[in-house]
Structure formats: C-alpha cells, structure tokens
Amino acid sequence: GHRHGAADCASSRGSWAAVGADVDDRVDPGSGAIERWYQLQFFAAAVSGGLLLLHLVYVIALLVMPPEWGAALFGDSWQGAALVLLPMCISACFSCVANGPAGVLYGLGWARETFRINLFKGPLILVVLLGATWLWGVIGSAWAFAAIEAIILPFWIATVIRASQHPRHPEAILQT
C-alpha cells in the first residue's frame, strides 16, 4: 500500500481506535476497511446467532417431545440418547457460537491461530473426555464434550478480538 503523512496516519489511527484497533499507516482511512470490519463483526455475530437459534429450536423440540415420539424417532436408542441429550445439546450450542469467529478468522488469514486453538483442544479432549468417561461413563463423556466446547469458546472470541485490534494485513479485510 502507499504511505501516508503524519496527519493521515493520525487520522487513520483515530478511525481505527473507534473499533479498538492498533493499525500502522498502511491503512487508508478512506479505503473502507473500517466499515468492512464492522461488516465482518456483524457477519460473525449473524452466523453464530443464526446457527445457535436454529440449534436451540431443535434442542427445545427434542427436550420437550413426549417419550413415545422420541422412541418412534430414535427407536431402541432413545433410552440412551435421552440420557446424554442435554449435555450434547449444550456442547453443540457452544460450538455454534464459535463458528462465526472461526469463519472470520479464516477469512482474514488467521488460520495459524485457528490451528493453535485446535492444537490446544486436542489434548484437552484426551484429558477431559477420557477422564470423565473413566469416572462417569457415557454421561460423563457427554458432559465432557460440553465442558470442552465451553473452555474453547473464549479462545475463539479472544482471537477474533485480537485480529480486529492487530490486523496483520489490513487490506485482507477489504478482500474478505
């Protein structure tokens, strides 16, 4: 990109400060990058919120349906499914909320950080899942999945916030 004078740089920093970013003078304040970042934040929230809403409708339907409907839908597996339904639904809700930030991070070229989050999640799955399964069986396993997603969600949110505060390639915001 082209370089700006001191006044333009200060103007650029002031504009980005409105969204909490610390950006150098590579950002052209008239480029639309700031507006695009707001659009990406909205996109992340819309994806997460939409998925969560759809999932909650499904979860509520499953949780309130009469047992005979569950048996008709799931057959012989309904007894076992009913035991783990709530923790598995909670786990999926956390996962739905993480999808928006993850999508924005991939779009902004922060795949390395998403990989790191998943590298952290791998051992966490082994320790928490195996430990809970050992101690409490299938119900412990289901609650472990919910706990793992709950533990990981703040990392997705913190990383997308960090991406907004320290964009590596501000021009990528415009290309996403």
SS (H, E, C) 90-101: HHHHHHHHHHHH
Q: What is the chain's mean pLDDT, rounded?
A: 79
**d(C-alpha 28, C-alpha 12), whole Å:** 7
User: Which of these, 22, 26, 24, lies nearest to 2 by C-alpha position?
Assistant: 26
Check whether 167 has a pLDDT greater than 90: no
Assess contact for 77 and 85: CB atoms under 8 A. Answer: no
Res. 124 pLDDT band, cuts 50 70 90: very high
The pLDDT assigned to 59 comes to 86
Give residue 28's pLDDT.
55
Name which of 2-16, 29-43, 59-73, 115-129 the model is least confident about: 2-16
Please report, for residues 34, 170, 174, the alpha-carbon distance to residue 30 in angstroms, rounded to integers and kept in the order given: 9, 13, 12
83: three-class secondary structure by DSSP: helix
Both structure tokens of 52 = 């969560």
Neighbour-count burial of 168, counting CB atoms closer than 10 A to its CB (0-12 exposed, 13-18 middle, 19+ buried): exposed
Mean pLDDT of all residues in 50-69: 89
pLDDT-based confidence at residue 149 (cuts at 50, 70, 90): very high
Q: Of all residues in the chain, what percent carry a pLDDT higher than 70?
A: 74
33's enclosing H/E stretch is helix 33-64
Query: For the stretch 59-80, what's the b/e string if a residue is b when 16 or more beta carbons lie within 10 angstroms of its beta carbon?
Result: beebeeeeeeebeeeeeeebee
User: CA 154 from chain center: how many Å?
Assistant: 8
In terms of pLDDT, which residue wins out, 8 or 151?
151
Band of the pLDDT at 52, cuts 50, 70, 90? very high
Calpha distance 134→38 (Å, rounded) = 45
